[in-house]
Amino acid sequence: MMVNVSAAMFLLLGCNHLLAMELHDHILEKQGSQVKKRLSLQSTAEIQSCLVSSGDVGCGMFQCFNNNSCEIQGLHHICLTLLHNAGRYNSQGKSYVKDALRCVALGLRQRFSCVSRRCSAVKEMVFSLQRECYSTHNLCLAVQDHLDTMGNLVQFQLMFPAGPYVELMNFLLKCGDKIRSWVGQRLRGQCEQHWGALCSTFTNICPLGQSDAPGLPTSPAPSIPRPVTPTDPLQ
């Protein structure tokens, strides 16, 4: 009888210990996920200091967002690529590119200190600046005759995770048929290299620009997927 009681007590203590360990792991996991959803205090201080000390010209201010806890990557690479190829544009195109980049850089400096540390808020601040500055300073006109200069940015693997690259692609897709077709064909070809015929299958199921034949009963147009935004997972 005493043996059975001792065995039961030992089993109960073992179960309590196991439950305590599981609860501890759950708390750590939850805390970890919460940390990833917010910009760490260290990253915030480092970015703020970097923005204040960086010059208004060049790509130094974009480098402030490299290796941050919200995983906002690509701003520095986008800036370097555009500036590196600006020599191939005409004088007006060079002005468009430099003004657009300067607009984003100054906006980051002015708005960062006022935005919440939540990653979603920081990202939306960055993406809204991209949309505003690229549109206001006519980036479409700068690149429309020099699409090859954007080749380093229109890369399938850069679309993951969704961030500044995706926001740039969504902007380019609104720059007219010529640019939209070039971007779409380039990304589709790279997608097929990774996922094979699966990418072209999606295109065949939902063809773009197909009109109903005259004299035939019309049917509802197939729903066309909307462009991917930085807040949506890229599928």
Please provide the DSSP assignment of the chain as one string. -HHHHHHHHHHHHHHHHHHHHHHHHHHHHHHHHHHHTB--HHHHHHHHHHHHHS-SSSSHHHHTTTT-TT----HHHHHHHHHHHGGGS-HHHHHHHHHHHHHHHHHHHHHHTTS-SBHHHHHHHHHHHHHHHHHHTTHHHHHTT-GGGGTTTS-GGGGSS-SHHHHHHHHHTTS-HHHHHHHHHHHHHHHHHHHTHHHHHHHHHS-TTPPPPTTS---PPPPPPPPP-TTSPP-
Tens-binned pLDDT, residue by residue, of the chain (235 aa): 444 444 444 444 444 443 444 444 444 444 444 445 899 888 899 999 999 999 888 999 999 999 888 989 999 999 999 999 988 999 999 999 999 999 999 999 999 999 999 999 999 999 999 999 999 999 999 999 899 999 999 999 999 889 999 999 999 999 999 999 999 999 989 988 888 888 877 666 544 444 334 444 444 444 444 444 444 444 4
